[in-house]
């Protein structure tokens, strides 16, 4: 009886080690599959394009173009985007912000020319006629998110928030536009940028 109990204890220990080894192996396989999924999925990134002038007054509407680049090896599907853009004289009150959909294609292919989208904002002549004359600090912001599904149907999002501080303008009052002389580089904010 003691011998049989000893054999059962040994077999139980062997079985426990086998189960642990099988579980470890299954977890490693699961991790490997996740690595493969991550490596093969679409990855979208946003790059705002340079703006060289601002319109104000009754024209007042400005477009910010941005590219949506796919850095992954497969296409992004069911692509949609939303966000906003605005401009203000630094120190003034933040304008009313409305989030609206960005025009984006449904599919963004890998290894292809990045499509462009746009976000618009108004700059009223009150902003320009204040301290703007030629030297002013105007902040332009572009914020939003691009949502998409990868090749396996898993959802992802790219959040972005860029700003540009404009410190000097050349006004062309007859055309109600201002050429940006200094400060036309986009920068990412410290937060508000990320991807899943």
Q: What is the pLDDT of residues 27-67, one digit of tens each?
A: 665 555 555 555 678 899 999 999 888 887 766 789 999 99
Whether the predicted pLDDT of 142 surpasses 80: yes
Angle at 58 between CA 176 and CA 144, to 5 degrees: 95
The pTM assigned to this predicted structure is 0.75
β-pair partners for 77:
149
Q: Check: CB of residue 136 under 8 Å from CB of residue 180.
A: no
Among residues 138, 122, 149, 124, the alpha carbon closest in space to that of 180 is found at: 138
* Least reliable range by pLDDT among 19-33, 66-80, 113-127, 182-196: 19-33
Q: What is the pLDDT of residues 96-112, one digit of tens each?
A: 788 999 999 999 999 89
CA dihedral 186, 190, 193, 196 (to 10 degrees): 150
Q: Check: CB of residue 64 under 8 Å from CB of residue 84.
A: no
Tell me the CATH number for domain 44-195.
Answer: 2.60.40
For 20, 48, 57, 126, the CA distances from 117, given in Å and listed in that order, are 52, 9, 24, 28
Structure tokens at 113: 């020319």
Average pLDDT over residues 10-25: 70
Strand, helix or coil for residue 40: helix
pLDDT of residue 132: 47
Ranges of each domain in the chain: 1-40, 44-195
């Amino acid at each position: 009886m003691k011998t049989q109990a000893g054999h059962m204890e040994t077999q139980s220990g062997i079985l426990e080690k086998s189960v642990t080894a099988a579980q470890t192996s299954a977890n490693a396989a699961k991790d490997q599959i996740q690595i493969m999924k991550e490596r093969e999925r679409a990855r979208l990134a946003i790059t705002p394009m340079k703006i060289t002038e601002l319109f104000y007054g009754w024209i007042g509407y400005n477009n910010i173009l941005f590219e949506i680049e796919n850095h992954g090896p497969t296409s992004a599907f069911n692509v949609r985007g939303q966000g906003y853009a605005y401009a203000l004289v630094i120190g003034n009150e933040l304008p009313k912000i409305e989030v609206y959909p960005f025009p984006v294609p449904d599919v963004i292919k890998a290894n292809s020319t990045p499509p462009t989208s746009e976000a618009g904002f108004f700059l009223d002549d009150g902003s320009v006629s204040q301290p703007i004359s030629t030297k002013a600090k105007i902040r332009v912001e572009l914020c939003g998110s691009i949502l998409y599904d990868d090749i396996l149907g898993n959802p992802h999002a790219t959040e972005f928030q860029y700003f540009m501080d404009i410190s000097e303008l050349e006004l062309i009052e007859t055309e109600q536009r201002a050429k940006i002389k200094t400060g036309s580089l986009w920068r990412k904010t410290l937060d508000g940028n990320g991807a899943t």
